[in-house]
Amino acid sequence: MIERSHWHPVALAQDVAALPVSATLLDEALVLWRDAAGQVQAWADRCPHRGARLSMGRVVTGRLECPYHGWQFAPDGACVHVPAAPAFTPPSTHVAQTHAVCEAHGLVWVCLQPGDPPSEPPWFAAEAEPGLRKLNCGPYDVATSAPRIVENFLDMAHFGFVHTGYLGSREHTALADYQVHDTPAGPVATGCRVLQPRSNLHSERASEVAYRYAVLGPYTAALIKVPEPGSLAGHLASTGYQESIGLFICPTAPEHSRIWFRLAVADFEASAESLRGFQDTIFRQDQPVLESQRPRRLPLDVRAERHSPADKMSSAYRRHLVRLGITFGVLP
Ligand code: FES
Ligand code: CO
């Protein structure tokens, strides 16, 4: 399964602290924990002794301790202590299954495939901009496949219906033509323009908003706001900053996903709660429609669903998944 060779986000980095945390990725149960050096670890959530869930255990002196018989495991996965047989030196077979893990964009990322993982998680350009405030929203647990969620994120034709009064209105549902280009990371849509009654927390009047969308990985995408001249964002743009929203999805099961949004905004005044609140409002509008879609898995056969010219970014994303050989969360 090619998805196993990609990095996927599994938890907020700040949530992996003193206690072990459970997570699910591609139908596999994981335990995440932090060793004495502060390095995050991601293992199969299964003790090699009798299969108990390690995430129900605890971290003791930099080791993960199983909740059942108290076996202790060092950060490399090796069992180093068996309380019922303290003189026993566990052989190298007594080892928890470890996975490649790293931190990026405020999230913990895991690659399940043994061997060398890809060099790094998807590149989110706004991350490198010191003039932007970064803030994660979520998680949101959604009963649908990750590709359905990416497609919804890339879709402007639903704004006037699902987000009426916010990102669109029923009076302006026709979309201006936009351009789609393929890049090695995925398709990019440029020249996207929408009239938005309330495009962000502070909007007091409708404005035409220009976007760029970029697919960054099979289940990762970004929206980049092309600033209006004269606005604060426009001022920032002259210094090279562009506000952006990243969509990061953990494909927990073929028809279940966990989502985080990463806001990279020029707004340093609003509270984190109010910025998150706005994102919650928008996403709660998307969620019922997303969960109503059938099939939940994204059909990659072009004949399975009907298309309009407004859907060319969605079609480019589907072709990209075909090129990558993605099978999780899609129908062939
Ligand atoms: Fe983990 Fe026995 S099942 S120590
Ligand atoms: Co939406």
Distances (CA, A) of 289 to 84, 136, 172, 301: 54, 23, 20, 22
Q: Is 330 in the pocket of ligand 1 (CB under 6 A)?
A: no
- Ligand 1 pocket member 66 (CB < 6 A): yes
Q: Please identify, by atom number, the ligand 1 atom nearest to the C-alpha of residue 70.
A: 4
49 lines ligand 1 (CB under 6 A): yes
Q: Is the CB of 50 within 6 Å of ligand 1?
A: yes
Q: Is the pLDDT of residue 287 over 70?
A: yes
- Where does the pLDDT of residue 326 fall: very low under 50, low under 70, confident under 90, or very high at 90 and above? very high
3-state secondary structure the chain: CHHHHCCEEEEEHHHCCCCCEEEEECCEEEEEEECCCCCEEEEECCCCCCCCCHHHCEEECCEEECCCCCCEECCCCEEEECCCCCCCCCCCCCECCEEEEEEECCEEEEECCCCCCCCCCCCCHHHHCCCCEEEEEEEEEECCCHHHHHHHHHCCCCHHHHCECCCEECCECCCCCCEEEEECCEEEEEEEEEEECCCCCCCCCCEEEEEEEEEEECCEEEEEEECCCCCHHHHHHHCCCCCEEEEEEEEEECCEEEEEEEEEECCCCCCHHHHHHHHHHHHHHHHHHHHHCCCCCEECCCCCCCCCHHHHHHHHHHHHHHHHCCCCCEEC
Among all bound ligands, the one having the nearest atom to the CA of 45 is 1
232 pLDDT higher than 80: no
Say how many Å lie between the CA of residue 246 and the centre of ligand 1.
Answer: 40
Show the tokens assigned to 123: 């590149």
Residue 5 reports pLDDT greater than 90? yes
pLDDT at 139 over 80: yes
142-196 pLDDT per residue, tens? 999 999 999 999 999 999 999 999 999 999 999 999 999 999 999 999 999 988 8
- CA 302 – ligand 1 centroid, Å: 49
Q: Does residue 13 have its Cβ closer than 6 Å to ligand 1?
A: no
Q: Is the pLDDT of residue 207 over 90?
A: no
Instruction: Give the tens place of pLDDT for each residue, 27-38.
Output: 999 999 999 999
Going from the Cα of 72 to the center of ligand 1, the distance in angstroms, rounded, reads 9
Of residues 89, 78, 60, the one with CA closest to residue 70: 60
- pLDDT over 80 (residue 234): no
Mean pLDDT of 56-68: 98
- Report whether pLDDT(13) > 80: yes
pLDDT band at 293; cut points 50, 70, 90: very high
Reported as a pLDDT band with limits 50, 70 and 90, residue 204 is confident
Pocket test for ligand 1, best of 45, 65, 71, 72 (most atoms within 8 A of CB): 71
From atom 3 of ligand 1, which residue's Cα is the shortest distance away? 50
φ/ψ of 15, rounded to 5, equals -80, -10
Higher pLDDT, 316 or 201: 316
pLDDT of residue 235: 55
Least confident range from 222-236, 284-298, 302-316: namely: 222-236
Give the per-residue pLDDT at 231: 57
Query: What pLDDT does 233 receive?
Result: 53
C-alpha distances (whole Å) from 175 to each of 8, 100, 308 are 32, 43, 11
| 211 within ligand 1 shell (Cβ under 6 A) | no
Q: Ligand 1 within 6 A of 56 CB? A: no
- Residue ID of nearest Cα to ligand 1 atom 2: 69
Distance 169 CA to ligand 2 centre (A): 13
pLDDT tens by residue, 106-118: 999 999 999 888 8
User: Which mutation among 43, 49, 72 tests ligand 1's pocket best, with the greatest number of atoms within 8 A of CB?
Assistant: 49
